[in-house]
């Protein structure tokens, strides 16, 4: 989407601009955390690098960022192959069942476990690789028909079947706010997910840990931090405003 040629001038400037973007977003996360009485170190900044060229991701890595997210399996494979192995990769896109076979242990966290059909595929592939997937359950808390995510009404049943898939380990919840929602509505969705997490945790099979809350993007990450996010997923705000 953004070719490297669109950036102002040369490699040093890309690194300087990206470093500045990351510093500014980290500062805003810190301030939001402190406003909410939270420890800023409890919030991870996930840089959503989908569509970004290798040079730009490499610049972010040089600026100290190691946590990246992609939304297409094949694009991720290519980037993971070419970028330093110290980069940790998360997946935030809709995961097609026929793409599961391309995943491997370089993929640290799947944020988009959003339907039952993915479980047998992930289990089978995990068994084959001897790898346990770490995943977040994507919940459609805004009940937005345009967005993926498990309906709220299905979450408890989903958690209850997870012990049948020992190669899938759910560590928390993920959500996307509704497009066009007001900040107040967005806050309501994030708060609702945080509150429901406590209920789902209390009903979950023994040993299941739902502590991660992945919520907040470029336009609403401060609200998400104030409402308990442990991971914010930021694309445009760190990469595109150069
Ligand atoms: C693209 C994307 C992001 C990042 O969005 P920005 O608005 O660019 O910050 C976050 N989460 C998901 C699921 C995405 O697809």
pLDDT digits (tens, 9 = 90+) for 181-195: 999 999 999 999 999
Q: What is the mean pLDDT of residues 71-92?
A: 98
Rounded to whole angstroms, the Cα distance separating 137 from 57 reads 27
Q: Ligand 1 test: best mutation among 76, 91, 180, 217, most atoms within 8 Å of CB?
A: 217
Is 92 near ligand 1, meaning CB less than 6 Å away? yes
How many Cα neighbours within 13 Å face the side chain of 125?
16
Q: Is 51 in the pocket of ligand 1 (CB under 6 A)?
A: no
Domain ranges of the chain: 5-239
- 3-state DSSP percent of the chain in helix, strand and coil, to 5: 45, 15, 35
Name which of 13-17, 137-141, 166-170, 235-239 the model is least confident about.
13-17
CB of 123 closer than 8 Å to CB of 168: yes
Length of the chain: 242
Rounded CA gap, 110 and 10, in Å?
34
For 176-206, letters b (16+ CB in 10 Å) and e give bbbeebeeeebbbbbebbbebbeebeeebee
Q: Is the CB of 218 under 6 A from ligand 1?
A: yes
Q: Is the pLDDT of residue 218 over 80?
A: yes
Using a 6 Å cutoff on CB, does residue 49 contact ligand 1? no
141 ligand 1 Cβ < 6 A: no
pLDDT averaged over every residue in the chain: 94
Does ligand 1 come within 6 angstroms of the Cβ of 191?
no
What residue's CA is closest to ligand 1, atom 13?
Answer: 92
User: How far apart, in whole angstroms, are the C-alpha atoms of residue 228 and residue 233?
Assistant: 14
Cβ burial of 95 (10 Å; 0-12, 13-18, 19+) is: buried
- The model's pLDDT over 104-153, given as tens digits with 9 standing for 90+, comes to 999 999 999 999 999 999 999 999 999 999 999 999 999 888 888 999 99
Strands (E), 147-217: 168-174, 212-214
Is the domain covering 5-239 a CATH 3.20.20.10 domain?
A: yes
For residue 221, what pLDDT band results from cuts at 50, 70 and 90? very high
Q: Which atom of ligand 1 is nearest to the CA of 234?
A: 9
Please give the number of the atom of ligand 1 that sits closest to the Cα of 46.
10
Question: H-helix or E-strand containing 22?
Answer: helix 10-35
The Cα–Cα gap between 105 and 232 comes to: 22
- Nearest-angstrom CA–CA distance, 196 and 205: 16
Tens-place pLDDT, residues 31-70: 999 999 999 999 999 999 999 999 999 999 999 999 999 9
Q: What is the pTM of this model?
A: 0.93
162 Cβ below 6 A of ligand 1 = no
Atom 7 in ligand 1: residue holding the nearest Cα = 218
Q: How far is the CA of 211 from the centre of ligand 1 (A)?
A: 21
pLDDT tens digits for range 12-40: 677 788 999 999 999 999 999 999 999 99
Using a 6 Å cutoff on CB, does residue 236 contact ligand 1? yes
Q: Are 67 and 45 in contact (CB under 8 A)?
A: yes
Say yes or no: CB of residue 2 within 6 Å of ligand 1. no
Cα-Cα-Cα-Cα torsion 4, 73, 169, 42, nearest 10 degrees, comes to 10
């Amino acid at each position: 989407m953004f070719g490297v040629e669109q950036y102002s001038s040369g490699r040093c400037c890309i690194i300087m601009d990206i470093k500045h973007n990351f510093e500014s977003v980290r500062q805003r996360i810190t301030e939001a955390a402190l406003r909410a009485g939270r420890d800023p170190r409890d919030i991870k900044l996930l840089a959503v690098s989908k569509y970004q060229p290798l040079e730009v991701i490499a610049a972010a890595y040089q600026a100290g960022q190691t946590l990246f997210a992609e939304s297409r399996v094949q694009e991720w494979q290519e980037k993971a192959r070419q970028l330093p192995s110290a980069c940790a990769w998360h997946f935030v896109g809709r995961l097609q069942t026929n793409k599961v076979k391309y995943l491997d242990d370089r993929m640290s966290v799947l944020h988009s476990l959003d339907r039952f059909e993915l479980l047998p595929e992930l289990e089978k592939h995990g068994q084959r690789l001897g790898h346990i997937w770490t995943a977040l359950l994507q919940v459609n808390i805004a009940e937005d028909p345009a967005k993926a995510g498990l309906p709220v009404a299905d979450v408890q049943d989903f958690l209850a079947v997870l012990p049948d898939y020992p190669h899938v380990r759910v560590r928390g919840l993920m959500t996307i706010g509704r497009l066009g929602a007001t900040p107040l509505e967005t806050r309501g969705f994030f708060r609702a997910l945080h509150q429901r997490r406590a209920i789902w945790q209390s009903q979950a099979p023994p040993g299941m840990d739902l502590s991660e809350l992945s919520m907040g993007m470029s336009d609403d990450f401060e609200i998400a931090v104030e409402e308990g996010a442990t991971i914010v997923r930021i694309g445009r705000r760190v990469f595109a405003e150069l």
